[in-house]
Amino acid sequence: MKIIMVLFFLINIRSFAQEKKIIKILNRELAKEIIAQKNHMDRYYGENFEVLKNFSIKNNRLSLEVKRKSDNGTGVYTEKQEVDLYKIKQIVKDINIILETEPHAVTLTNTKENGEKSVRTTDMFFLHLSYEKQNEFLADDIVEAFQKAGYKLKKGFWHD
């Protein structure tokens, strides 16, 4: 019985360490994206945003919170994305890097400046990473970190 408990404990420690690695990779790349927005405005074609809360994992749930301009340009809103890690299926890139999930697995909460909230679900978790090109190695690194943490993630198409 003690051996089983020790093995369970060691597996959980390893998984936690790998989740920290996932966060480290994602936040490192997010920081590079923010620098590109500010320093290369003439070559930055992605949507501008401000990070309110970096990528984090709590209770096997990945989240990111950003501030963006509204589509009509009249104000700003906060966008929070959340997804259970085990519902993520693949990582893809088509201009933006996206984690594709099971249907309705991503909860997207938008909060307007006046406090009005809207919540919807989707099957795409946008990483807000679009500036860097020729970066398929990043997908490999993220897939490896997910798999070492015990999550099934595969790499899909990768288009700059």
For the stretch 67-102, pLDDT in tens is: 998 777 778 999 999 999 999 999 999 989 999 999
Domain ranges in the chain?
Answer: 2-159
For residues 70 and 54, what is the distance between their CA atoms, to the nearest angstrom? 21
CA angle 63, 109, 115 (to 5 degrees): 125
d(CA 135, CA 79): 26
Q: Which two tokens stand for residue 110?
A: 């938008």
Q: For position 13, what pLDDT does the model report?
A: 44
Tell me which residue of 46, 100, 45, 54 sits closest to 80, measured CA to CA.
54
- Hey, which bits of 102-148 come out as E strands? 106-112, 117-122, 124-126
Residue 143 CB neighbours (<10 A) = 17
Average pLDDT, the chain: 88
Q: Is the pLDDT of residue 9 over 50?
A: no
Strand partners, 84: 61
Report long-range pairs for 105-108 (Cβ below 8 Å, ≥24 apart).
Answer: 106/81, 106/82, 107/81, 107/82, 107/83, 108/79, 108/80, 108/81
Check residue 3 and give its pLDDT.
59
4 pLDDT more than 70:
no
Closest C-alpha to 62, from 3, 116, 141, 142: 142
Measured CA to CA, the distance from residue 68 to residue 79 in angstroms comes to 7
pLDDT at 29: 97
